[in-house]
Amino acid sequence: MSRVCQVTGKRPLVGHNVSHANNKTKRRFSPNLQEHRFWIESEGRYVKLRVSAKGMRTIDKKGIEQVLKDIRAREKSEG
């Protein structure tokens, strides 16, 4: 499963580890993803999403119903 937030679309970034001697080696900065179940009152069921910490804050602000509506609209326009 890819490391992508289903709400915000955050993906891993690429950067460097830098040693004291200023040697640089590649590394990845992964988003803070959590798998979380959200209760959908209107549908009477749970939905499992893989969201980042910022995605959870977005759900707290907008509400799960609005966020799911946005996700479904985004998927419809892409595919």
pTM of the model: 0.84
Q: What digits encode the pLDDT tens for the residues 27-75?
A: 999 999 999 999 999 999 999 999 999 999 999 999 999 999 999 999 8
Closest CA to 13 of 34, 33, 32, 27: 27
Residue bearing tokens 């915000």: 8
Instruction: Give, as one character, the DSSP assignment of residue 4.
Output: -
Tell me how far apart the alpha carbons of residues 46 and 48 are, in angstroms, rounded to a whole number.
7
Q: What digits encode the pLDDT tens for the residues 44-53?
A: 999 999 999 9
Residue bearing tokens 């119903």: 65
Residue bearing tokens 């679309």: 9
> Is residue 1 pLDDT above 90, yes or no?
no
Residue bearing tokens 């959200």: 38
